[in-house]
Amino acid sequence: MTESKNTAHEGLIYQVAIPTPLRKIFDYLPPKSNKPLQPGSRVLVPFGRRLIVGFIISIKSGSSLASKNLKGIDKILDEHPIFSNKLLKLLQWSAGYYQHSIGEVLNAAIPKKLRSANPTNPMYQVWKSYSPSEKKNSNSLQNAPKQKALLSLIQKQEGLTKESIMKAGFDSRAIKELEKKQLIYKQIKPKPLGNAFKPLSRKNPKSIDLNAQQKKALTAIIQIEAKFKCFLIDGITGSGKTEIYMQAMQQQLCEGRQCLVLVPEIGLTPQTLSLFQERFECSVISMHSGLTDNERLAAWNMAKTGAAGIVIGTRSAIFTPFANLGIIVVDEEHDSSFKQQEGFKYSARDIAIMRAREEKLPIILGSATPSLESLHNIATKKFVHLSLTNRAGKAIEPTKIIIDTNNKRLENGLSEQLLYKIEQHLAAKKQVLIFINRRGFAPTLSCQQCGWIAECKNCISQMTVHIKPTNIRCHHCGALSKLPANCPCCNNSKLESIGLGTQKLEKFLQARFESIPVLRIDRDSTRRKTLFQSMLDEINTGKSCLLLGTQMIAKGHHFPNITLVAIVNADTGLFSPDFRGQEQMAQTITQVAGRAGRASSPGEVVIQSRHASHVTLNNLVNNSYSDFAKYLLQERLATNMPPFSQLAVIKAQAKQLSIALNFLKKISVMSDAINSKFNSQVNSIGPIPAPIEKRAGMFRAQLILKAKKKSTLQQFIHLLVSQIENLKIPSNIRWSVDVDPNELT
Ligand code: ADP
Ligand code: ZN
Ligand code: ZN
């Protein structure tokens, strides 16, 4: 071998991020055209045997690889970077913090259309006529006046869309005929991008006069001009948080700056979008999973060019590019949907704070039930606390009581006392909301003779009985099978559905309150959007009805005529094994309770429990959420759990539990070795089987790492992950990292 072949390449190198799970970037030679390229641009590069879309991260001179081992960039896809420097930096930070491949992170941050070699602006079709020199046909159209008129229109206005042709009164037949006669042809063109929206005027006539608390909060927010500051609006349901967001946004919009609003769920709360659309005279767009690929690309462009004044979106909207972003709002900041649980396990709320910091913007987090993390950040003066303690309108706080169901006869989960209350409220022509956190008909199907229980073949979990259509389903993996007629063990035909789900309760309530409409809201009943909308419409008429549902009804809806809210069973949350179990229970109960008495009629909240004297539950019922949160924070401090410590979990999955556990044991040894260099600042717990031990055919295990400081854990986990990446990992093991896990399931 001659020396030149071995030496490292010297000369210009582009470092390219590629959507693969590998946590590294790759060296490429410049493209043949030698056009200079900027970080944040997409390129087509050879990778393995394919050409793949990658992203330029940086430019350097020289590679540790020899020239012959380097491949060249095949094609430049973007003349201008699709990621601004700031956004690219944020995404790099996110990939580093959550220990995920930068290529996958960048890929997830763009609309699907841009993940292949499509141009950034959406394409559209226009019709053109041939110029005299290229004319192929001299058909005079003497006998076709419509076609003749259309041809002359197209000649006058080159590049008409089909839509504008139709608007001018022609039909698609005329277009087809002219095309057939080779008088016109179609051309696909990139859509011209919109202009930045026009700054709004300072005063919005639709703004509501704020009360004193709201005014104080708004003043604090708008004082901060183009600086980073994180505000937490800690305000009970209906206290007018949204009104403050809107008025703070108004200030930005009148400066020509854009606003980003993150919400937990958009499909379920179409009111949110229309509320903003009605308030502001600029274009308000939404970004959520329900968009088609083209719609998403169009929305992305509108944000990037500044044509959209406001973007309202779910989790992934935090990666939207903006021409001129002025403020970020995260509504319901405590909501667990802001944390992605699979793949790139990021928290959109936390990245939003990072984005605001980097881009020097104010950010508002809002919630009636702030997360313990955010409350801790207030205690340590990282966030500014803005509290709203009164309901904005006339509404007053509901009263709360606990009904002891221990040793009581329950009818489909409801105590006599609760049934009586339901009757009273319905008799007063009011609406009643019943919260039960289990969809389906019944959570257990069991044989009365031998005790057999229907279990999922792929998970360690029971099958839930469903009706309409009748079958049994696993809520962990989605497996579905026919409802057995006989017991597969003893062939007995007496199978019993035990326990209570929304469908069983619905059936019972329909029979019991015959004249009253019963509306069930859960993941099954809301799958059809039109059906869901018609239920919301019915509730909004204000007529007496019974509303029952899961978590979904706790999210953001305004139902002014509800005067009774019942929580059928508070005990699952009370005894949850997860460290966030009680926090989430308190948030759900408080949010559901917040649906009561939103207008002028006073509300009542009833909580059923078999542990009516449980300290935690009484604490929650007798105190405000914020007092209860203080109590939970003390507990977290005593047990040294977040936010008083930082967690990361290494997860492994395999077809056998022992394989997953053994793999994590190896990692635990590596972790111990690293820890000795860290003065044992990191605690490792496990490996242990995950609480959901088997899901979709895979056994699951976890190794939990805990440190006092974020920075310690970050450095530690970075070292550990790079060592794991160097292992030869058998293909039958899947592993991942979850930094700041939401739950240890
Ligand atoms: P939150 O976001 O805290 O749940 P909203 O901002 O949606 O509360 O306000 C709840 C209701 O009270 C809305 O109908 C809103 O229009 C109204 N509202 C808000 N602020 C005021 C105010 N200062 N005076 C009167 N009504 C208000
Ligand atoms: Zn049996
Ligand atoms: Zn299953």
**1 band by pLDDT with thresholds 50, 70 and 90:** very low
Highest mean pLDDT among 135-139, 538-542, 720-724: 720-724
pLDDT at 135: 65
Torsion of CA 704, 708, 710, 712, to 10 degrees: -90
Say if residue 722's pLDDT is above 50.
yes
Within 10 angstroms of residue 1's Cβ, the number of other Cβ atoms is 5
Ligand 2 centroid from CA 295, angstroms: 53
Side-by-side strand order, sheet with 464-466? 464-466, 471-473, 480-481
pLDDT at 190: 72
User: Cβ(508)–Cβ(728) under 8 Å?
Assistant: no
Average pLDDT over residues 629-635: 94
Say if residue 142's pLDDT is above 80.
no
| Candidate from 243, 279, 330 with most ligand 1 atoms within 8 A of CB, to mutate | 243
With a threshold of 0.85, does the pTM exceed it?
yes
Say if residue 3's pLDDT is above 50.
no
Model confidence over 408-441: pLDDT tens digits?
A: 899 999 999 999 999 999 999 999 999 998 999 9
First to last CA, the chain: 55
Ligand 3 centroid from CA 468, angstroms: 20
Say if residue 554's pLDDT is above 80.
no
Taking Cα atoms as reference points, which of 104, 75, 106, 110 lies closest to residue 88?
106
Ligand 2 centroid from CA 457, angstroms: 18
Which ligand lies nearest the alpha carbon of 244? Answer: 1
**392 band by pLDDT with thresholds 50, 70 and 90:** low
SS3 state of residue 604: strand
The two structure tokens encoding residue 356: 């605001």
What is the rounded distance in angstroms from the CA atom of residue 201 to the CA atom of residue 644? 45
Say if residue 4's pLDDT is above 60.
no
The answer, yes or no, to whether any atom of ligand 1 lies below 6 A from the CB of 573, is: no
What is the rounded distance in angstroms from the CA atom of residue 607 to the CA atom of residue 593? 10
Distant-in-sequence, close-in-space partners of 258: CB < 8 Å, separation ≥ 6 = 197, 252, 303, 306, 308, 309, 310, 311, 322, 323, 324, 325, 326
Burial 618-643 (b: 16+ CB within 10 A, else e): ebbbeeebbebbbebbeebeeeebbb
Within 10 angstroms of residue 171's Cβ, the number of other Cβ atoms is 11
The answer, yes or no, to whether any atom of ligand 1 lies below 6 A from the CB of 214, is: yes
Say if residue 655's pLDDT is above 80.
yes
The answer, yes or no, to whether any atom of ligand 1 lies below 6 A from the CB of 238, is: yes
Partnered with residue 705 across adjacent β-strands are: 648, 684
Within 10 angstroms of residue 139's Cβ, the number of other Cβ atoms is 16
pLDDT at 369: 94
The answer, yes or no, to whether any atom of ligand 1 lies below 6 A from the CB of 251, is: no
Average pLDDT over residues 12-37: 92
Highest mean pLDDT among 13-17, 34-38, 129-133, 272-276: 13-17
Which ligand lies nearest the alpha carbon of 462? Answer: 3
Ligand 1 centroid from CA 631, angstroms: 29
What is the rounded distance in angstroms from the CA atom of residue 433 to the CA atom of residue 597? 11
Q: What is the CA radius of gyration of the chain?
A: 30
Q: What's the Cα-to-Cα distance from 2 to each of 6, 7, 30, 63, 64, rounded to whole Å?
A: 7, 9, 25, 19, 17
The two structure tokens encoding residue 439: 């969809």
**In the 8-state DSSP scheme, what is residue 450?**
T
Which residues, chain by chain, have CB under 5 Å from ion ligand 3?
Answer: 456, 458-459, 474, 476-477, 479
The two structure tokens encoding residue 96: 């580093």
Say if residue 6's pLDDT is above 70.
no
463 by Cβ neighbours in 10 Å (0-12 / 13-18 / 19+) ranks as buried
Which ligand lies nearest the alpha carbon of 460? Answer: 3
Within 10 angstroms of residue 616's Cβ, the number of other Cβ atoms is 19
Taking Cα atoms as reference points, which of 405, 441, 416, 368 lies closest to residue 598?
368
Which ligand lies nearest the alpha carbon of 269? Answer: 1
Model confidence over 207-245: pLDDT tens digits?
A: 899 999 999 999 999 988 779 999 999 998 778 999 999
Is residue 683 within a helix (H) or strand (E), and if so which, with residue range?
strand 682-695
Out of 247-261, 267-281, 498-512, least confident range: 267-281
**54 phi/psi in degrees, rounded to 5:** -125, 180
Ligand 1 centroid from CA 583, angstroms: 26
Model confidence over 300-352: pLDDT tens digits?
A: 999 999 999 999 999 999 999 999 999 999 999 999 999 999 999 999 999 99
The two structure tokens encoding residue 543: 């007529």
Ligand 1 centroid from CA 424, angstroms: 29
Out of 189-203, 279-293, 372-386, 451-465, least confident range: 189-203
What is the rounded distance in angstroms from the CA atom of residue 634 to the CA atom of residue 627? 11
**2 band by pLDDT with thresholds 50, 70 and 90:** very low
User: Cβ(486)–Cβ(493) under 8 Å?
Assistant: yes
**254 band by pLDDT with thresholds 50, 70 and 90:** very high
Ligand 2 centroid from CA 48, angstroms: 55
User: Cβ(691)–Cβ(745) under 8 Å?
Assistant: yes
Residue 491's region, left for phi above 0, alpha for psi from -120 to 50, else beta, is left
Ligand 2 centroid from CA 449, angstroms: 5
- How many helices (H) and strands (E) in the chain? 21, 29
pLDDT at 354: 98
The answer, yes or no, to whether any atom of ligand 1 lies below 6 A from the CB of 398, is: no
pLDDT at 526: 81
What is the rounded distance in angstroms from the CA atom of residue 447 to the CA atom of residue 217? 59
Report residue 741 CA to chain centroid gap.
15
Average pLDDT over residues 7-22: 90
Say if residue 5's pLDDT is above 60.
no
Task: Specify the ligand 1 atom closest to the Cα of 235.
Answer: 3
The answer, yes or no, to whether any atom of ligand 1 lies below 6 A from the CB of 208, is: yes
pLDDT at 128: 85
Nearest protein Cα to ligand 1, atom 23? 210
SS3 state of residue 407: coil
Which ligand lies nearest the alpha carbon of 209? Answer: 1
pLDDT at 292: 86
The two structure tokens encoding residue 187: 């051309």
Model confidence over 101-134: pLDDT tens digits?
A: 999 999 999 999 999 988 887 777 788 888 766 6
- Look at the block and give the residue holding tokens 């990692």: 667
What is the rounded distance in angstroms from the CA atom of residue 533 to the CA atom of residue 531? 5
**In the 8-state DSSP scheme, what is residue 330?**
E
Annotate 219-244 with DSSP letters as a single string. Answer: HHHHHS-SS-EEEEEEE-TTSSHHHH
- Look at the block and give the residue holding tokens 């944020």: 90
SS3 state of residue 686: strand
Across the chain, mean pLDDT equals: 90
3-state secondary structure 344-397: CCCEHHHHHHHHHHHHCCEEEEEECCCCHHHHHHHHCCCCEEEEECCCCCCCCC
Nearest protein Cα to ligand 1, atom 11? 238
Residue 685's region, left for phi above 0, alpha for psi from -120 to 50, else beta, is beta
User: Cβ(260)–Cβ(327) under 8 Å?
Assistant: yes
Report residue 180 CA to chain centroid gap.
49
pLDDT at 738: 96
The answer, yes or no, to whether any atom of ligand 1 lies below 6 A from the CB of 19, is: no
The two structure tokens encoding residue 364: 């508002």
Which ligand lies nearest the alpha carbon of 695? Answer: 3
pLDDT at 180: 87
Ligand 3 centroid from CA 618, angstroms: 36
Ligand 2 centroid from CA 494, angstroms: 8
At position 472, the amino acid (one-letter code) is I
SS3 state of residue 253: helix
pLDDT at 705: 96
Nearest protein Cα to ligand 1, atom 15? 240
Report strand pairing: 75-76 vs 42-47: antiparallel
